[in-house]
Amino acid sequence: MSCYFRHLNGVFNEAGIEVNAANRKMVKEAIHKLTGVGSSDCPAAWKKLKLHVLNDEKNRSEFVKKLRAEISRRS
């Protein structure tokens, strides 16, 4: 599940999110919601993350804020 998680450690750290077995699915669902990609299409989510989040500092900062808010809302 969500093999791209290993590449997002910096994003998770910036957002103050510790991914573990208990919250992994919730984090995945939040990422898919924020990327606008269906939850079963991990390659498409990873493609969007690489293009729009990891390669652009402004987009990364906005994504971190949105991810933090989404996880807080779901917790």
Task: Identify the CA nearest to 5 among candidates 39, 71, 20.
Answer: 20
The predicted pLDDT at position 75 comes to 85
The pLDDT tens digits of the residues spanning 5-44 come to 999 999 999 999 999 999 999 999 999 999 999 989 999 9
> What is the residue-averaged pLDDT of the chain?
94
Cα 75 to Cα 49: distance, rounded to the nearest angstrom: 23
pTM attached to this predicted model: 0.92
The pLDDT tens digits of the residues spanning 51-66 come to 999 999 999 999 999 9
Residue 1 pLDDT exceeds 80: no
Per DSSP (E only), the strands in 1-75 are none
Contacts of 42 (CB under 8 A, 6+ apart): 1, 2, 3, 4
Amino acid at 19: V
* Structural domain span for residue 19: 3-74
Q: How many domains does the chain have?
A: 1
